[in-house]
Structure 1
Amino acid sequence: MSALGLVGGAVQWVLIAAGAPLLVGLMRQVRAVLEGRAGAGIGQPWRDLRKLLRKESLTPRGTSEVFRVAPLVLVATSLVVAVVAPFVTTASALNPVADLFAVVALLAMGTATLALAGLDTGTAFGGMGASREMTIIALVEPTLLVAIFALSVPVGSTNLAAIVSSVQHDPARVLSPVSLLAAVALSVVIIAETGRLPVDNPSTHLELTMVHEAMILEYSGRDLALIEWASAMRLSVFLGLLANLFLPWGVAGSLTPLALLGGVVALVVKVGLLGAALAAGEVFLAKLRLFRVPELLAGSFLLALLAVGASFFLA
């Protein structure tokens, strides 16, 4: 734990917590423009959250504490990852928690808790969405681990801050076969984990095709606001990891106001561009059939394995 890590963690906490809904608004606005619509504006997700926070949360009869605690667990795991991962600075506020396996476990905990909450309602759509989500996560999490592990082999450490610092000192590694294979695999994982097209449609209203939305149909009011906020933060966290693991330029390495400002600006620009590119790609994609999703994720896992093999042979 260092002063740089503590300051960076505090800045990241505020930046991701406040900026995540704006990222969702930016992506919706990009889609609207490309589809010939006016769009509701970048700030609309924050207005939606403010409206939901004013409403009462209703708990379905027969549900347990799992249903009530799930939104808090989802928000808590997202915030912890936002604090410890190297987004603005190369140092972490809690270095042991910034480990690859700890970060992936925290993200998986939030997903699994939400799936349990979907099952806890006892509804057909909640159970269906939970079943689909666990099928996806069973293929996504190994790919996420293996893809980032490929980047850790040359570094000799699974600490995310150490990986980012190493790539900063050796920029040529960005164009290596290991990085390119891992980047493609991680991109597919992010699309699946955050429920974007072609794996899931975040704006769908057709129950039979929903995955994430099917699990939260019974939530309302403040609980729904927490879930939507946490989902936006998870999207920002995944895009931030993708940006800094492969393009770590601008990440602050010293505790000076100019370096911290550069780290904040670099993160906002990189995540914003990745979000806009993802939204633009969704305009030209159709949702895959559910039984075709494992094929896509299996292909990404194969790319991650190739990246690991290349990291040993090309070291």
Structure 2
Amino acid sequence: MSMAGIVGAVVQPVLIVTGAPVLVGMMRQVRARLEGRAGAGVMQPWRDLRKLFGKERITPRGTSEVFRVAPLVLVATTLVVTVVAPFVTTDSAVDPAADLFAVVALLALGAVALALAGLDTGTAFGGMGASREMTILALVEPTLLVAIFALSVRVGSTNLAAIVSATVHDPGRVISPASLLAAVALIVVIIAETGRLPVDNPSTHLELTMVHEAMILEYAGPDLALVELASAMRLSVFLGLLANLFLPWGVATTAAPLALLVGVVALVVKIGVLGALLAAGEVFLAKLRLFRVPELLAGSFLLALLAVGASFFLA
């Protein structure tokens, strides 16, 4: 355990937790401006969270501990990822947990917990949203694993910190066919995992089209605040992984204060730019019909497989 890893384990969770709602607010503001609206302001998500945390906790009658624990599991698993993944530094405080399979499993565990909570309510919309979420998850998780695995072939390790470090020391990897194919596949994965257009519409509450929102209709007060905060954190985590796996410049390789400061600024800038691009792209996209979503995700899986093939044969 290096000093850079310890500092990263402290700085990264604080940065993601405090900055994730601001990222969501910024993306909403970008989308509002492009649509000709004023928007609610960048800090509106934090104002909403503060209001929700101040309300009384209410749980539907007949629900079990699954419903009550799911928001905590969602936040906890995402928080662990922010501790171990290489966002600000290339070192990890808990190096074994920075493995590709461990990180993907943690992210999947949070999604499964929320889907179980949707089923636990016993409502039609909760079951519908959980079913759709599990369908998307079953198609997305293999793509996520294979896309990042394509980057690990030349490194000889599935450790995310090792992959980022190798790219920092050999920038030419970024423009290789394997990296480009994996990047496109991972972008589609992020869109699906975070419920963005064209897979899901985060700004709608139409019952027949909802995926994520259908699972959390019964949440209120602090529990809803935890779910919303965790969703924003997951978006930041995915964008941070995309940025550092393919554009790792600025990531601190030492524990020097200046290097860590540059790492923090670089992460904020990269996630902000990616979030703005994602929000701008949504303005020009329409939501896909549900039965077309598997076709999109199958295409991303094919790109991930091609990335693995390219990493083996073009290395």
The aligned counterpart of 2:172 is 172
Instruction: Spell out the pairing of 1:3-152 with structure 2 (5 A cutoff).
Output: 3-152=3-152
Q: In structure 1, give the amino acid aligned to 2:307.
A: A
**Secondary structure at 2:108's aligned position in 1?**
helix
Structure 1 CA distance for aligned equivalents of residues 221 and 63 of structure 2: 17
Indicate whether 1:160 and 2:160 are aligned: yes
Runs of at least 5 residues in structure 2 that lack an aligned partner in the other structure: none
Structure 1 CA distance for aligned equivalents of residues 90 and 130 of structure 2: 36
The aligned counterpart of 2:273 is 273
**What percentage of aligned pairs have identical amino acids?**
85
RMSD: 0.4
Q: In structure 1, give the amino acid aligned to 2:54.
A: R
Q: In structure 2, give the amino acid aligned to 1:206.
A: L
Instruction: Spell out the pairing of 1:134-283 with structure 2 (5 A cutoff).
Output: 134-283=134-283
**Secondary structure at 2:208's aligned position in 1?**
helix
The aligned counterpart of 2:303 is 303
Q: How big is each residue's C-alpha offset from its partner over 1:148-198, in whole Å with a ceiling of 9 and x where there is no partner?
A: 000000000000000000000110110000000000000000000000000
Structure 2 CA distance for aligned equivalents of residues 70 and 2 of structure 1: 33
After TM superposition, give the deviation of residue 93 of structure 1 in Å: 1.1
Structure 2 CA distance for aligned equivalents of residues 172 and 256 of structure 1: 26
Structure 1 CA distance for aligned equivalents of residues 235 and 163 of structure 2: 21
The aligned counterpart of 1:2 is 2
After TM superposition, give the deviation of residue 3 of structure 1 in Å: 1.3
After TM superposition, give the deviation of residue 30 of structure 1 in Å: 0.1
TM-score, length-normalised on structure 2?
1.00
Runs of at least 5 residues in structure 1 that lack an aligned partner in the other structure: none
Displaced runs of 4+ in structure 1, greater than 4 A?
Answer: none
Q: How big is each residue's C-alpha offset from its partner over 1:250-277, in whole Å with a ceiling of 9 and x where there is no partner?
A: 0000111100000000000000000000
Q: How big is each residue's C-alpha offset from its partner over 1:217-249, in whole Å with a ceiling of 9 and x where there is no partner?
A: 000000000000000000000000000000000
**Secondary structure at 2:198's aligned position in 1?**
coil
